[in-house]
Structure 1
């Protein structure tokens, strides 16, 4: 029996399931050697640990930050996307069978995360616009590759607290004369659980859905703790430029949050308490482009009325000289 085959059988009971309790390589070698058939060097065992930790099918994963290994769990039969269309069209709801309560729970987590993302960026001076109709049940499957869940708008506003929503009049006039947009648009896709099995699909959907904007983001609710997963996302970012960030919210943490409407309408102290729960981890920064592809955006406008709503909202802010938040029900 090969060393890898033996390790596949031996390692699962030896590895902790919680990455925060990761076992050091030296200790793992000692424990594994007690059950191995054959004399293998420490270097050979470490090599196999490293190679196997990059394989989504293997039971061992290496922590992203720090040292040590933990047990990689099988993909959870939960929705990794952020909208109803992804769940329904990809058939992932089938994994729940007739368990309607599990379906409702999964969709509620998606809505909560969307609300958390909205509040997080509002608190940090950005203006989110959420797409919903493009992902409703019955919408074309191709919308997964065309529309972001959230568009993040960055305006040039005043520095003083009483001017934080006022647009910079001088810069606004200059950009209008130069034919430049007085804002920056970044398109974000939302996912609940990062996985070595699905991160490429997640990434390239984010890339495709942001090709008209000035940059793309892939936002995960759960922490990215697998080193192989983080490295894979960084390599894709280096080539294609989509930023990647996690909010540190496990499924249990999402379940403990209030309802989406309460998150969106929370008082300042409640919002601060919510922000304190987040463990933001920037895996890779987005590569921002200079210009918006207006022709591509106009093409999307013909496919979804929500693009017209986005444009009307941006136009209204310019006309009023104020960067007003976009509000809708959760």
Structure 2
């Protein structure tokens, strides 16, 4: 097995996710060497760290203007990234030509927006679950219509003695007796730029991907400034129930935000400053159903293991009596 292949497997658990807690190269070499097969010099390891940190697909990233390393934010899934590029070029990827910088900038905006959405709902008491494997390279294009990018979970909670969000046992028992889920699941699609050319596809993908959940959301980064577009989205909402919301972040505003890893690991004051940059505007409220379509959800279980991960997480929260954020395995 090559050194790079070994490092790709070894490094993720060794690297901190927060750039502010980055690990120095000397310490990373020491930890990696404990698991490596083969005798490699410090210079060889440092060379590989440097080369891999420039590769967006590798797990290691280097801090800006520093010497430490951290775990790279998960890449944008292939299908959703390609769809975003198609929307930006109005269905003609040739418009990008060989401008790799433009492609990288577009995908980085998507990564940042996904991180903003995660942080925003964390702060506002909703619990996000992100789908990645369903949109991985090689997945069928039909998955764009079957799976949401994010599921937002709402619990009825109270604050426990340690500040934890505890689930109300009385309400849990009552809903169980009535055959109702003890949570509300809304399935969401994320897009950067609203457009009269693509809003119907955006909307109906969000509808299709949320058919099993209790509601659907279409979440735009940029503001919806076109009155005709806003009216058209409201008409679709009135007919089909998918909610539409904008975070008020133009592409330029996204470019000015910190890296996704910094957003996800921001301290309270940094998070507060980030929230002040948002101009969240509700264009249309989602219509929420009481029941989940369990048959449709069970059908999706055969197509993505992430459905089982979602169910296991929800079950764990119920068993523990606490609403806990989903933690992805390193």
The two structures have a TM-score, normalised by structure 1, of 0.72
Question: Superposed, which structure 2 residues align to 1:1-330 within 5 Å?
Answer: 83-88=77-82, 93-158=93-158, 162=162, 165-328=165-328
Q: CA deviation at 1:164?
A: 5.1
Q: Is the contact made by 2:159 and 2:165 (CA closer than 8 Å) also made in structure 1?
A: no
Q: Is the contact made by 1:245 and 1:281 (CA closer than 8 Å) also made in structure 2?
A: yes
Residues 272-324 of structure 1 show CA distances to partners (whole Å, capped at 9, x for unaligned) of 11100000110000011110001101111110011111001001111111110
Q: Is the contact made by 1:221 and 1:250 (CA closer than 8 Å) also made in structure 2?
A: yes
Q: CA deviation at 1:176?
A: 2.3
Residues 76-113 of structure 1 show CA distances to partners (whole Å, capped at 9, x for unaligned) of xxxxxx85313436565443111112111111111110
Q: CA deviation at 1:139?
A: 0.9
Q: CA deviation at 1:203?
A: 0.4
Alpha carbons of structure 1 residues 189 and 329: separation in structure 2 relative to 1, 3 Å: farther
Q: Is the contact made by 1:215 and 1:287 (CA closer than 8 Å) also made in structure 2?
A: yes
Cα distance in 1, alignment partners of residues 206 and 92 from structure 2: 19
Alpha carbons of structure 1 residues 119 and 202: separation in structure 2 relative to 1, 3 Å: same
Cα distance in 2, alignment partners of residues 95 and 164 from structure 1: 50
Q: CA deviation at 1:137?
A: 1.7
Alpha carbons of structure 1 residues 92 and 130: separation in structure 2 relative to 1, 3 Å: farther
Q: Is the contact made by 1:189 and 1:219 (CA closer than 8 Å) also made in structure 2?
A: yes
Residues 45-97 of structure 1 show CA distances to partners (whole Å, capped at 9, x for unaligned) of xxxxxxxxxxxxxxxxxxxxxxxxxxxxxxxxxxxxx8531343656544311
Q: CA deviation at 1:225?
A: 0.4
Question: Match of 1:237, SS?
Answer: helix
Q: Is the contact made by 2:180 and 2:290 (CA closer than 8 Å) also made in structure 1?
A: no
Cα distance in 1, alignment partners of residues 259 and 290 from structure 2: 38
Q: Is the contact made by 1:214 and 1:291 (CA closer than 8 Å) also made in structure 2?
A: yes
Cα distance in 1, alignment partners of residues 166 and 92 from structure 2: 44
The two structures have a TM-score, normalised by structure 2, of 0.72
Q: CA deviation at 1:172?
A: 1.1
- Calculate the aligned-residue CA RMSD, in Å: 1.8
Structure 1 or 2, whichever has the larger Rg, is: 1
Cα distance in 2, alignment partners of residues 130 and 297 from structure 1: 16
Alpha carbons of structure 1 residues 265 and 215: separation in structure 2 relative to 1, 3 Å: same
Cα distance in 1, alignment partners of residues 273 and 285 from structure 2: 26
Name the structure 1 match of 2:35: none
Question: Match of 2:129, SS?
Answer: strand
Cα distance in 2, alignment partners of residues 159 and 278 from structure 1: 27
Q: Is the contact made by 1:187 and 1:216 (CA closer than 8 Å) also made in structure 2?
A: yes
Can you give the 5+ residue segments of structure 1 that lack an aligned partner in the other structure? 1-81
Q: CA deviation at 1:170?
A: 1.1
Cα distance in 2, alignment partners of residues 88 and 272 from structure 1: 32
Residues 134-186 of structure 1 show CA distances to partners (whole Å, capped at 9, x for unaligned) of 11121110000000010000011015785551111111122223332110100
**How many residue pairs get matched?**
249
Q: Is the contact made by 2:77 and 2:137 (CA closer than 8 Å) also made in structure 1?
A: no
Cα distance in 2, alignment partners of residues 86 and 112 from structure 1: 14
Question: Match of 2:142, SS?
Answer: helix
